[in-house]
Amino acid sequence: MALQGSLSELSLADVIQMVSVSGKTGVFEVRRHGEIGRIFLRDGQIVDAAVAALRGDNAVYEMAIWSEGEFSFKPGEETDTVTIHLSNANLMMEAARRLDEWRVLSRKVPSLDLVPFFTSRDHHDQVTLSPHEWILVTRIDNEHSIEAIAEQLHWSAFDVSKLLFGMITSGLVALRSKDDDPVSSGGPKGPSTVTLIGLASRIRTVALGVVGTSGEHTIDKQFAAARTLIERGAGFDAIRTMVEQHSKAISLLKGADIAAMFDEQVRPLLGSAERAPTTAGNTQGGNVS
């Protein structure tokens, strides 16, 4: 008979531990808000897991923080794929650590259904963001929920929430319910002028690092033009235009291969979903000025 129950009554980690000690082979199916995740066990050892765009360890960690939903275990179902090589003990230990961290994060991020938006920071709009935070910044539009943004970026909702926690604490970002009117929530749809200028400055630094002193005048001229457009309300389009101009200038000065290197380095900063990393790590940030 299949084991089944509710995550509001039993944590997934406890249920997996109970099944794994019996040495069973089968699959856990975990359902929440229409989302379905699977965790495969072979002789009690977790060997594979998947949920949304996540696979392996990160998929287990993502499902381990779910506090609601239904689970069921179907014995006998196997997989030929092995994406997990940690022992169950180490896997569950990390899952438990993340669950503890999630309890702290949930003080400011109580639900993944909430929609992040930029606040009006005025003179406080001096922030320090890591590269992964810059990527997240490009996806905040006062329309998509935390869960939707995580899916777009192929990141775990835990990692997105962890980044948002710092932004909310600094006052850069706030959260609203999906039912709230985006206009009445008071948040702009995109990054503020100062945030966009900061992003342009980071991209300028990347361009100068690639092209060297021979192209400094051209890069600075294009950056100044982008800054003017941003201040006139052009928004993120000014950033894209600047990147295209930088790429063309680098191609002329240094060749197509160097221009391609530049494109590769700035693509994550533009929030390209196809190139987004699978996890959001802790990377040293840069000052926005």
Confidence at residue 161, expressed as pLDDT on a 0 to 100 scale: 93
Q: Nearest Cα to 108, choosing from 174, 204, 38, 26?
A: 174
Picking from 120-124, 158-162, 235-239, which range would have the lowest pLDDT averaged per residue?
120-124
Q: How far is Cα 69 from Cα 62, in angstroms, rounded to an integer?
A: 13
> Is a pLDDT exceeding 50 seen at residue 281?
no
Highest mean pLDDT of the ranges 127-136, 167-176, 180-189: 167-176
Confidence at residue 237, expressed as pLDDT on a 0 to 100 scale: 83
Q: In terms of residues, how long is the chain? A: 289
Span between the terminal Cα atoms of the chain, in Å:
62
> Is a pLDDT exceeding 70 seen at residue 276?
no
CB atoms within 10 A of CB 237: 12
The model's pTM is: 0.62
Report residue 130 as tokens: 């890591």
Confidence at residue 227, expressed as pLDDT on a 0 to 100 scale: 87
Q: How far is Cα 150 from Cα 164, in angstroms, rounded to an integer?
A: 11
* Portion of the chain with pLDDT greater than 70, in percent: 85
Q: What angle do CA 241, 121, 145 make, to 5 degrees?
A: 70
**What are the pLDDT digits (tens) for 99-147?**
889 889 988 998 888 999 887 654 444 556 787 888 888 788 888 999 8
**What are the pLDDT digits (tens) for 52-66?**
889 999 999 988 888
Report residue 194 as tokens: 């100062």
- Is residue 79 very low, low, confident or very high in pLDDT (cuts 50, 70, 90)? very high
Confidence at residue 178, expressed as pLDDT on a 0 to 100 scale: 81
Report residue 119 as tokens: 């606040």
Instruction: Look up residue 43 and give its amino acid.
Output: D
> Is a pLDDT exceeding 60 seen at residue 39?
yes
Confidence at residue 181, expressed as pLDDT on a 0 to 100 scale: 64
Confidence at residue 254, expressed as pLDDT on a 0 to 100 scale: 87
Q: How far is Cα 102 from Cα 90, in angstroms, rounded to an integer?
A: 18
Confidence at residue 282, expressed as pLDDT on a 0 to 100 scale: 37
Confidence at residue 278, expressed as pLDDT on a 0 to 100 scale: 38
Write down the residue that tokens 């997990």 correspond to.
84
> Is a pLDDT exceeding 70 seen at residue 247?
yes
